[in-house]
Amino acid sequence: MKRLVCLLAVLGLLSLTSIAEAKKVFIKWGATNVRSGLYANTVAMASIVKKAYPGEIEVTVVETGGYLENLVRIQKKSIHMGPADAAAGYAAYEGIIDYKGKQIKDLRVMWGGYITPIHIVTTKKSGADTLEKINGLPFASNPGTTSGRAIELFFDANGIKPVYKMMGIGASVDALKSGVASGWYKAGFKDASILDLESSMDINVIPITKKHVENMEKKYPGQIKTMTIPAGLFKAVTKEQLSFAYVVTDFVHKDVPEDVVYKIVKAIYENRASLVGSLSTLREGKFDDMYANAEKYIQVPLHPGAVKFYQEVLKVKVPDRLLPPEMKKK
């Protein structure tokens, strides 16, 4: 009898453990390449969520090839969520521009995100200190990345034709150092890769002009943002200058449960001050204006869990264009 009681007790304990484990949600949050300064943003957000919901939401940060890859991975459900360019996400959601025939209708958004520059870098040795002088130069490019897509569209709209050298992000830094490439681009406010380059060689960080912006908007409407970067951001930036930029937001698959997304948005919102306080890209990009930036920058519908949070907690009326189809049907 004692053995039977012990056996039943063990089985009961195992049963309770199984029930507890079943309640835990496992989330794969895509990021970017670990050598990118933007990788830390996702790590910080994931840490906040895990700390807010121990035993409930287990988040694993997944290194990826970049923000465009995240859109595809979300569609395939190899990750549940991840940051990407808002403009590329909109093109993917609508199936336009370079996403014709490759529409991704399962994308939803959690918040407004932040605006960040894409720096166009050349070696001092190349003599290319303006955008036009990049023509014909060997130029490192990272296929499948958001900045790669954005810069190629930008160059095309402005008639800039470098000789692209396709390679990875890490290899691009080495290519400039070795002279294999004369130019490159990199997203991120004070990006670690550019700081790495400046520690060993002289570089230019190329400014853009209003005319360049007008040309881009004319050929690819809605696919460009700009921001002014301050003097001293890098040694090569001796005065404030206009920079090509894009908006980064976190997309999520529509099938992630509403309550899970609600909790994630809640955790990030309640800790947004600490995020922007410790991460310059988020601080300079005004990430803490999470809902305001959604109304300002986002064209893809919010996830139902995000809508519920903003309506219940912020007491806002979410515009119809940001409501997901599944909510409009109710």
**Whether residue 241 is found in the same domain as residue 254:** no
Which of 246, 276, 291 is the last residue before a domain boundary? Answer: 246
Same domain, 31 and 102: yes
DSSP string, 97-133: GGGTT---TTEEESS--EEEEEEEEEEGGGT--SGGG
Range of the domain at 252: 22-113+248-328
> The tokens 């830094």 sit on which residue?
173
- Same domain as 167, residue 87: no
Instruction: Select from 246, 275, 292 the last residue of a domain.
Output: 246
β pairing state of 107-109 and 25-30:
unpaired
Side-chain half-sphere of 94: how many Cα atoms within 13 Å?
A: 13
Q: Are residues 136 and 186 located together in one domain of the fold?
A: yes
Same domain? For 165 and 252 the reply is no
| pLDDT tens digit sequence for 97-143 | 989 999 999 999 999 999 989 999 999 999 999 999 999 999 999 88
> How many domains does the structure of the chain reveal?
2
Are 123 and 198 in a shared domain?
yes
Domain endpoint, select from 217, 246, 275: 246
Torsion angle, alpha carbons of 266, 94, 98, 61, to 10: 20
Express each pLDDT in 167-185 by its tens digit. Answer: 988 899 999 999 999 999 9
Enter the pTM of the model. Answer: 0.78
Does 184 share its domain with 225? yes
Q: Could you tell me if 122 and 216 lie in one domain?
A: yes
Whether residue 236 lies inside any domain: the answer is yes
324, amino acid identity: P
- Pair (39, 67) in one structural domain: yes
Q: Are residues 240 and 138 in the same domain?
A: yes
Here the contacts of 71-76 (C-beta below 8 Å, separation 24 or greater) are 71/104, 71/107, 71/251, 72/104, 73/30, 74/30, 74/104, 74/106, 74/107, 74/251, 74/252, 74/253, 75/104, 75/106, 75/107, 75/253
Output the domain CATH number for residue 64. Answer: 3.40.190.10
Specify the pLDDT at position 23: 78
Could you tell me if 238 and 122 lie in one domain? yes
Q: Collect the ranges in the chain with pLDDT lower than 70.
A: 1-22, 329-330
